[in-house]
Amino acid sequence: MRGRIDSLLCPAGEAVALIAPGSTVACGGFIGAAHPEALTAALERRFMATGAPRDLTLVYAAGQGDGKTRGLNHLGHKGLLRRVIGGHWGLAPRLGALALAGDIEAYNFPQGVICQLFRDIAAGRPGCITHVGLDTFIDPAHGGGRLNAVTPAGLVERVELGGSTWLWYKSFPIHAGLIRATAADPHGNLVMDDEAIIGEVLPIAQAARNSGGIVIAQVARLLDRPADPKAVRVPGILVDRVVLAAPAEHEQTFGNAHNPGFVTAGMAPAPPPLPMDERRVIAARAADELRPGDIVNLGIGMPEGIAMVAAERGMLDLVTLTVESGPIGGLPAGGLSFGASLHPRAVVDQPAQFDFYDGKGLHFAALGAAQVDRHGHVNVSSFAGRVAGVGGFVNISQNARSLVFCGTFTTGGLEVAVEGGRLRVVREGRVPKFVAEVDQRGFSAARARARGQKVLYVTERAVFRLGDDGLELAEVAPGIDIKAQVIDLMGFTPRVGAVAPMSPRLFTAPGP
């Protein structure tokens, strides 16, 4: 059975040739999951061959890239882009290089806000009005999320509504939406049966269509029969072109070509135990804060180890692990497959997941930290001459009821040994992480205190809590000298009261 799909099918190069100079382009995906790799690669090839299109504005919510050449790195060329509005930049260093050089206007807004903003654009609303981002570097009072001096102000504004202060992230037209699905049916309807996430494909398509723009969809295959109507994620009436992608440009994630466990129910196997090192100590101490019944988000990197410790302790059935990309339940994947979950119980779209997070639905979250200052503010987005971006960090950290920041005490060559239930620093890191003032504020300790949020800062050698007037030292590891190996290495003096020892079991390998 053939239908409308015949008029929609075309090669990738022909499809991206429809993107006019100066267009605003929205691109979906999460690292590599649901990212339209065939389309971004074709857009790069066209620009390199013809010099067109030029001066695009790129808008995306979740970071999309492999830290090298794939994903949005395809678009990291001077002249191709004029402006970028993105949630996470770390895996697209080519975009970050343009921002640092001042070659583009560059904004870093919360991932959750951007994917929700697509819905507001689609609905013809003036923008996304939210508390997310207040008192961070995204707040106009602290820079408005601008990443360099050439970036103008005005995309986000403070407003007063009902006696409270909110942030207004302003709408703008979307001229082209680049999305991905598993298959297209004869009507051009898109289904996502083999995709690890749903993402924000429908809001992007609706925003582009209602802005008078075009929607280009990448798929892995075509269906001979109409899809189950309830399985359709984007109706064909919204789709202008369909590109059939080669398998190499339609891998399930940038870490897995295809893992059936990402899209099927079942019992996730127990992950391998963590080695007895600093990462395990931090993950084990953070896992002590989990409570039965908790709905949980674990950030990428160091916090991923908490799931492994929870599995060892038999807690995976007692808590529900979620990922901001949409999976609920199961075991979150790591590395370049982060965003997927192994045998999730459900997968919702990304804007809906952030609705739940922003409304304080998370009981517990554990996130990384690049810098912590005397106030308790945290920076994860800009340090050491690179632009990482906040991703979903602001939504999650601002709204989780209980929050743990995880990271080593110092970085840059740190080496520790866990011996006989004690911690020994073999070689100290070159870079301190506890500083007088963070370079960029992604988490506001003042707002956390105002809403009574419980906040801990867990390292391999010490645990701090957020107190009434800043950071308080709460626990120290066995074998660590408080003055020489903690306080003297900080850029400020924390409040020190009755300091408890970190539990010896954190420094003892688990039994068989």
> 177, 44, 212, 204: which is closest to 116 by C-alpha?
204
DSSP helix/strand/coil, 169: strand
∠ at Cα 412 (410, 417), nearest 5°? Answer: 65
The contacts of residue 282 (CB under 8 Å, 6+ apart) are 302, 305, 406, 407, 408, 458, 459, 460
What superfamily would CATH give domain 5-248?
Answer: Glutaconate Coenzyme A-transferase (3.40.1080.10)
Per DSSP, the three-state class of 498 is strand
Q: What is the mean pLDDT of each run of 10 residues along the chain (512 residues)?
A: 85 98 98 98 98 98 98 98 97 97 98 98 98 98 97 98 98 98 98 98 98 98 98 98 98 97 90 90 98 96 92 92 97 95 97 98 97 97 86 98 98 95 96 97 97 96 96 97 98 94 91 57
Cis check for the bond before 269: say yes or no (omega within 30 of 0).
Answer: no
Q: Where are the beta strands (DSSP E) in 348-491?
A: 364-368, 371-373, 378-379, 382-383, 386-387, 402-406, 410-411, 415-419, 422-427, 431-432, 434-435, 454-458, 462-467, 470-476
Collect contacts of 407-414 with beta carbons under 8 A, ≥24 apart: 407/282, 407/302, 407/368, 407/369, 407/370, 407/433, 407/458, 407/459, 408/278, 408/282, 408/302, 408/433, 408/459, 408/460, 409/433, 409/434, 409/459, 409/460, 409/461, 409/462, 409/486, 409/489, 410/489, 414/278
What is the CATH superfamily name and number for domain 278-507? Answer: Glutaconate Coenzyme A-transferase (3.40.1080.10)
The per-residue pLDDT for 492 is 98
Question: Cβ neighbours of residue 16 under 8 Å, at least 6 residues apart?
Answer: 39, 42, 43, 46, 216
φ/ψ of residue 233, rounded to 5: -95, -30
Percent of the chain that is helix, strand, coil (3-state, to 5) = 25, 30, 45
How many other C-beta atoms lie within 10 A of the C-beta of residue 221? 12
Q: Mutual orientation of helices 350-358 and 111-122 as an angle, nearest 10°?
A: 120
User: In degrees rounded to 5, what are phi and psi of residue 493?
Assistant: -105, 115
Q: Do residues 388 and 380 touch, judged by C-beta distance below 8 A? A: yes
The gap from C-alpha 231 to its chain's centroid, in whole angstroms, comes to 26
Q: What is the pTM of this model?
A: 0.96
Residue 410: beta bridge partners?
Answer: 432
Distance of CA 166 to the CA centre of its chain: 22
Q: Could you identify the residue written with the tokens 């909110």? A: 166
Whether 475 is catalytic is no
Task: Map tokens 């990462």 to a residue.
Answer: 279
Concatenating the DSSP letter of every residue in 363-396 gives SEEEEE-SEEETT--EE-SEETTEE-B-TTHHHH
CA distance linking residue 77 with residue 321, whole number of Å: 38
Judged by DSSP in three states, 442 sits in coil
Which part of the chain is CATH 3.40.1080.10? 5-248, 278-507
Active-site hit among 37, 105, 324, 460 = 324
Comparing CA positions, the residue from 169, 160, 65 lying closest to residue 113 is 169
